[in-house]
Structure formats: C-alpha cells, structure tokens
Amino acid sequence: MRYILPFLILGAMPAMLMAQPDAAEILRKIDKQMVTESAEATATMVITNRRGRETRITSRSWSKGETTSLVEYLSPAREKGVKMLRLDDVLWMYTPQADRVIQISGHMLRQSVSGSDLSYEDMVNNGKLLDVYDAAVVGEEVFMDRLCYVLRLRAKENVDDIAYAQRKIWVDKSRYLPLKEERYAKNGTTLLKIFEIREVMKIGDRWYPKEMYFKDVLANGQGTRYLVDDIKFNVDIPEYLFTKAALRE
C-alpha cells in the first residue's frame, strides 16, 4: 500500500488540474452572473461621510445590453427627478431644477456621483470583464468565509480609456461572484477604489449582489453602500425610454 498510494494520487492529479478553470473561463462565469441582457431595478445608495453622517438616495434603473441604461432618482426631494442616460460611450444627465440636459463623457465619467464613492461609469457600467481584461489566477484565499480564486486583471488595450487599468479580484469559487476587488490606475500600484459584495441573493439560476460596498481611497468619506431592493431580469423595456426626449418626462 505504501507504494501504491503515491501512484494513485499522482494518477488523479491530471484530472484535478483539468477540473480547475482557467482565468478566462472564470471571467466568463462572472460575466454570466453579473451582466444582464435587460433588467429593471430599484436600489438605495447610502453615502457615509467622514463624520459618519449618512445620505440615502433611492433610484429606479433600466438597462438593455452592455451600453444602454437609464437611472432615475426617486428620493430625497432635492434629488428627485435627476436622470442619467447612457448611450454607448456618452452619458446624458438631466436635472429638473435647471431643466437642463448636459453631456458627460471622457474623464468626466470618472467623477463622483452625488458625492458618493461611485463614479458615473461605476453607476451605469454593464460591460463584460472578458472583453476588456486579460487575467491570470494568482492564488486562492478565503474572504467572508468563502473560498475564492484570486485573479489579477490587466486591460487588453486603450488603457487611457479605461477607468481601472488593473484589478485584483477575489472570486467565490462556487458562485462565481467577485466578492472583493482592488481597482488600480495604469501603473498597477496606485489603488483607486475598493469594491466588495457583502450580501448576495439568488434569482432563478443566477447569483447576484444584494449589498455592495464602494470606497474611493482618494476621498475622505467612509464609503458608499449600494443596496439592490428589487431587480427583474429579461424584461421588456420600451425603446423610447432610452432617448434624450424621454429625460424631461
């Protein structure tokens, strides 16, 4: 038995290695969970400043494909009616107080939304990681009591056009959700933002975040929680909703 067992273990190792997904396959599985063909959701954004004071903003959103989405603020009263419409790489923002539609593009997309730790790009992004990044598995760690793959991501090209040129992510091995991310600048050493999924929910066969946390490390606040109150996938959304004319309605 002393001689047979090592051979049995060695014989099983190729099958074990084959069962381990590569980095591209892990990204593909993340995209399957996180990216939606169409969705309608309500959410609450809780912004905590450096003194611990909270501001809550509730919103309703619609998305279709990877580059079309609309967010409408429902409360508080001073924010109610603000809308953000993304069409491809351009974001249009409507403020009812000024009754004005402005275009936000380029580096302006990386500015804070309503004093939160989310940028405009964070708020409306629905793109696939696999389309933007090359990845490598660099280890395994436990995070929030879940065994995770640890991956390093590097942007494939057009680094200047990408908010986070490099990322380090901790991916739940069974649910394929990125439970933690460190998002870096082009040099790969300047940490820009921390992202965590703190609570998840299962809708049909899809695992999806219920509570997310964002921390802009260059800002003074204590971070922003983003709570998904309700979400429906594969819904029919009128095309007219995704037009500039609809922003004033």
Please tell me whether the overall predicted TM-score, pTM, comes out greater than 0.95 for this model: no
Positive or negative, the Cα torsion across 26, 27, 29, 33?
A: positive
Cis peptide before 76 (omega within 30 of 0): yes
Whether the pLDDT of residue 16 is over 50: the answer is no
DSSP 159: G
Listing DSSP states for 78-102 in one string gives TTTT-EEEEETTEEEEEETTTTEEE
pLDDT digits 0-9 by tens, 206-236 = 999 999 999 999 999 999 999 999 999 999 9
List the Cα angle 204/40/203 in 5-degree steps: 15
DSSP 127: -
DSSP 220: S
Whether the pLDDT of residue 3 is over 50: the answer is no
Predicted confidence at residue 129, as pLDDT, reads 95
70: which 2 tokens?
């609309």
Token look-up 């996938």 returns 233
User: Which has the closest alpha carbon to 34: 166, 224, 223, 197?
Assistant: 197
248: which 2 tokens?
């004033």
Compute the average pLDDT of residues 111-116.
95
pLDDT digits 0-9 by tens, 24-59 = 999 999 999 999 999 999 999 999 999 999 999 999
Q: What is the rounded distance in angstroms from the CA atom of residue 197 to the CA atom of residue 239?
A: 31
Listing DSSP states for 3-72 in one string gives THHHHHHHHHHHHHHHHS--HHHHHHHHHHHH--SEEEEEEEEEEE-TTS-EEEEEEEEEEETTTEEEEE
Whether the pLDDT of residue 10 is over 70: the answer is no
Predicted confidence at residue 108, as pLDDT, reads 87
Q: Is 142 exposed, middle or buried (0-12, 13-18, 19+ CB in 10 A)?
A: exposed
Predicted confidence at residue 147, as pLDDT, reads 98
Fold of 23-248: outer membrane lipoprotein receptor (LolB), chain A (2.50.20)
pLDDT digits 0-9 by tens, 63-99 = 999 999 999 999 999 999 999 999 988 999 999 999 9
DSSP 181: E
Whether the pLDDT of residue 18 is over 70: the answer is no
127-136, 153-162, 165-174, 231-240: which range is least confident on average? 153-162
Q: What is the rounded distance in angstroms from the CA atom of residue 61 to the CA atom of residue 85?
A: 10
Report yes or no: 127 and 35 within 8 Å, Cβ to Cβ: yes
Report yes or no: 115 and 55 within 8 Å, Cβ to Cβ: yes
Q: What is the rounded distance in angstroms from the CA atom of residue 25 to the CA atom of residue 21?
A: 6
